[in-house]
Amino acid sequence: MKRSPKDSEDSARQITRRSLVVGGLFTGTGAVLAARMRYLQVERADDFRLLAEENRINIRLLPPARGLIFDRRGVLLAGNEQNYRITLVREDAGDVDAVLEALTRIVNLDLGRLERAREEIYRRPPFVPVTIADRLSWEELSAVAVNAPALPGVDPDFGLSRVYPMGADFAHVVGYVGTVSDWYLQNTGDTDPVLQIPDFQVGRYNVEARLEADLRGRAGTRRVEVNAGGRVMRELDRDDATPGSDVQLTIDAGLQNYVEARLAGESAGVVVIDVQTGEIVAMASAPTFDPNLFVRGISNAEWAGLNEDPYRPLANKSAQGLYPPGSTYKMIVALAALEGGHIGADETVTCGGYTELGNRRFHCWRRGGHGRMNLIDSLAQSCDVYYYELAQRVGIEAISAMAVRLGCGTRHDLPLSGITTGLAPTMAWKRENRGEDWLVGDTLNAAIGQGFVLTSPLQLAVMTARLATGRDIQPSLVKSINGVDQVPDTAPDLGFDPAHLALIHRGMYEVSNDRRGTAYGSRVDDDAFAIAGKTGTSQVRNITAAERAAGVISNADLPWERRDHALFVGFAPYDNPRYAVSVLVEHGGGGSAAAAPIGRDVLLRAQVGDVPPLDLYPVSQRREIEQMHNNMPLLPQPPVPTGRNVPSSRA
């Protein structure tokens, strides 16, 4: 059938359109291919020429700068310093032994460290860099860099290493870091790739460990080109690491330094709390140690010395230590009796030197007794018999409940390692843990802070802060993280009768300010700084009836480890409490002689903000105090740092 001219024209137009579409597609595809070929052949020509010469691209992690740690005023407590080092990648080195031998001809390497590095090289995956030497001088690093063509797989590098400018003062608060070990990887479940970076440091103790997630930061990456010998040819691109968060603690570096210096020669713990906020402004444990030793690599001799010291410098006595609180526990018993209606302010108990229970005598520390005692007198003179009587009226359950209410027998949530819970024993506790029934004699022992009762200096400081304010003070150690405030809100009222608290306060005031008070020798000669306190002495040995009949052996005549622990708690100023302190001196003897003077000096330093002036001390003590302060190894106040990572807030 013959097609009409019109049909022929329509068919021709359709063919033309199809040709144009197909041609356009081919043209576009050709243009894309041409552009890609130009990019590959012209713009990436150098890249592919080097790759053709057996170069390759490596992705390398960039370690983040660890967050800095400051005190409440911005004084640097934990910083970072430059560290020049040499690393080696086994798969790039080829003959590892030959490379190491060549390296020893360029840099003087410790043979022991070199052998440990050799073992780690073969233990790690072949692509993981291993540190051969660190803390090199610039000259040593430069010598390695110049000889890099003859050292395949060797990379002269630099990084940051932790440093603690305040030395031993903050070891038991800030803690320290260490390199990532196999134990750490196996026991923490931490899979962050940054841990594969040679000698990467992680927190091992206290704030450094507990705030690891905040302080670590995030690793960056860089893409580098290396030749067949493993030498870096150039850096192709980089994604910088994100620094860790800066942390500001509540601790005052000046006060902390004073406390550590004041404890020189003792085995002791001290905690100071701002009772208005709950902030811990000092937490010291003596003796202490230099955390820089653990960062740089502690020697076997240094490690043995720390472990074998009977004063246990590695232990944080303030937060980890457990001790019978002695007579510092008497405020708990007194408040439980008052709140329970078991005794009135003016009611008296006669102390004849002991209380009889069955065929056993429970003695007062004063052999001849104290005579008639009311509550205020009993605190001031620390009469044991008074509290034996109160304990029988109140019972252990109410005493222990009051102890927990005041912060004992509970674990306080702070970023520290190994915080102890302590023990405020109950009848159920003894049945479950000792398989025995509770006895009345157990209650009498608990009444004077002996027997099963155990507390830490941290708990006693919290107890004192709550007694001073009547509020549920929660201790805090971190002031801010990257400028964001971390201090808890105002503490709620504990609901105590103000009249009962006033009686406790007055009794504690008499301890330090009445001539018969057990801490009168550690009084302050200015009412504006007056202290309300309580001494305590806790036995670490049993006194037999025969020894008591012949005369109790003086602490001074006993070996150090058999002497009583000395304690003191207090707050100041008496009229408007600002600071609370607890002091524990291991085997210090009596609380009046060993712990109270330390507590007095520390509270004065906290209130004054500097070394206390002599006119705050009794005239008869001023010369001795002056000599003591002159001999104390006090550090000058470090300057507040400037630049990156300075906290935005100041206290």
**Domains (ranges, CATH) in the chain?**
58-246 (3.90.1310.10), 253-296+313-545+558-631 (3.40.710.10)
pLDDT over threshold 50, residue 621: yes
Q: Which residue has the higher pLDDT, 563 or 83?
A: 563
pLDDT reading at 54 higher than 60:
no
Sign (positive or negative) of CA dihedral 281, 283, 286, 290? negative
User: Looking at per-residue confidence, does 460 or 64 come out higher?
Assistant: 460
Q: How far is 38 from 329, CA to CA, in rounded Å?
A: 85
pLDDT digits (tens, 9 = 90+) for 312-325: 999 999 999 999 99
153 vs 516, higher pLDDT: 516
Residue 651: predicted pLDDT: 33
Q: Which of 34-43, 169-178, 421-430, 565-574 has the lowest mean pLDDT?
A: 34-43
* DSSP single-letter state for residue 626: H
How sure is the predictor about 374, in pLDDT bands with cuts at 50, 70 and 90?
A: very high
- pLDDT band at residue 637 under the 50/70/90 scheme: low
Least confident of 149-158, 291-300, 639-648: 639-648
Q: How far apart are CA 588 and CA 571, in angstroms?
A: 21
- At 90, list the tokens: 């086994």
Q: How far apart are CA 245 and CA 265, in angstroms?
A: 36
Taking a C-beta distance cutoff of 8 angstroms, is the pair 117, 132 a contact?
yes
What pLDDT, in 10s, does the model give residues 333-350? 999 999 999 999 889 999
Residue 546, CB-side half-sphere exposure with 13 Å CA sphere: 0
Q: How confident is the model at residue 53 (pLDDT cuts 50, 70, 90)?
A: very low
Tokens of 355: 């209380």
1 has pLDDT over 70: no
Predicted local confidence at residue 647, as pLDDT: 42
Per-residue 3-state assignment (H helix, E strand, C coil) for 231-254: CEEEEEEEECCECCCCEEECCCHH
> Which string of b and e fits 24-62 if b means at least 16 CB within 10 Å?
eeeeeeeeeeeeeeeeeeeeeeeeeebeeeebeebebbb
Confidence of residue 235 (pLDDT cuts 50, 70, 90): low
Q: Please state, rounded to an integer, the average pLDDT across all residues of the chain.
A: 87
Residue 238 has pLDDT above 50, yes or no: yes
Query: Residue 20: which pLDDT band, with cuts at 50, 70 and 90?
Result: low
Strands of 302-385, DSSP E: 349-351, 354-357, 360-363, 371-373
% helix / strand / coil in the chain, to the nearest 5? 40, 20, 40
> What is the distance, to the nearest Å, from the Cα of residue 125 to the centroid of all Cα atoms in its chain?
35
Residue scoring higher pLDDT (441 or 103): 441
Asked if residues 86 and 131 have their Cβ atoms less than 8 Å apart, the reply is yes
One-letter amino acid at 280 equals: I
pLDDT in the model for residue 17:
66
**pLDDT-based confidence at residue 469 (cuts at 50, 70, 90):** very high
The string of pLDDT tens digits covering residues 402-438 is: 999 999 999 999 999 999 999 999 999 999 999 999 9
Residue tagged 């040499």 (tokens) = 86
Q: Using a CB cutoff of 8 Å and minimum separation of 24, what contacts does 98-106 make? A: 99/151, 99/152, 99/153, 99/154, 100/132, 102/147, 102/150, 102/151, 103/132, 103/144, 103/151, 103/154, 106/143, 106/144, 106/147, 106/151
Q: What is the pLDDT of residue 352?
A: 95
Cβ atoms of residues 479 and 249 within 8 Å: yes
pLDDT category of residue 44 using cuts at 50, 70 and 90: low
Q: Is 531 helix (H, G, I), strand (E, B) or coil?
A: coil
- The answer to whether the Cα torsion of 555, 556, 560, 565 is positive or negative is positive
Residue-wise pLDDT tens digits, 580-605: 999 999 999 999 999 999 999 999 99
Please give the DSSP secondary-structure letter assigned to residue 3: P
Q: Is 388:362 a contact under the CB 8 Å cutoff?
A: yes
Q: Where are the alpha helices (DSSP H) in 280-363?
A: 292-296, 300-308, 330-339
pLDDT score recorded for residue 291: 95
Tell me the C-alpha distance between 582 and 567, whole Å. Answer: 7
Looking at residue 45, its amino acid is: A
Average pLDDT score over residue span 10-14: 59
The residue type at 572: A
Q: Which residue has the tokens 């110049």?
A: 146
Q: How confident is the model at residue 649 (pLDDT cuts 50, 70, 90)?
A: very low
Q: How far apart are CA 472 and CA 490, in angstroms?
A: 9
CB–CB of 322/388 below 8 Å?
A: no
Q: Are 543 and 552 in contact (CB under 8 A)?
A: yes
- Residue ranges of alpha helices (H) inside 570-635 are 596-608, 622-631
Q: What is the pLDDT of residue 196?
A: 78
Helix 96-104 to helix 111-123 angle (10° resolution) is 160
Q: What is the pLDDT of residues 323-334, one digit of tens each?
A: 999 999 999 999
Contact 449, 329 (CB under 8 A): yes
- Per-residue pLDDT, averaged over 198-206, amounts to 87
Pairing of strands 69-70, 247-249: parallel
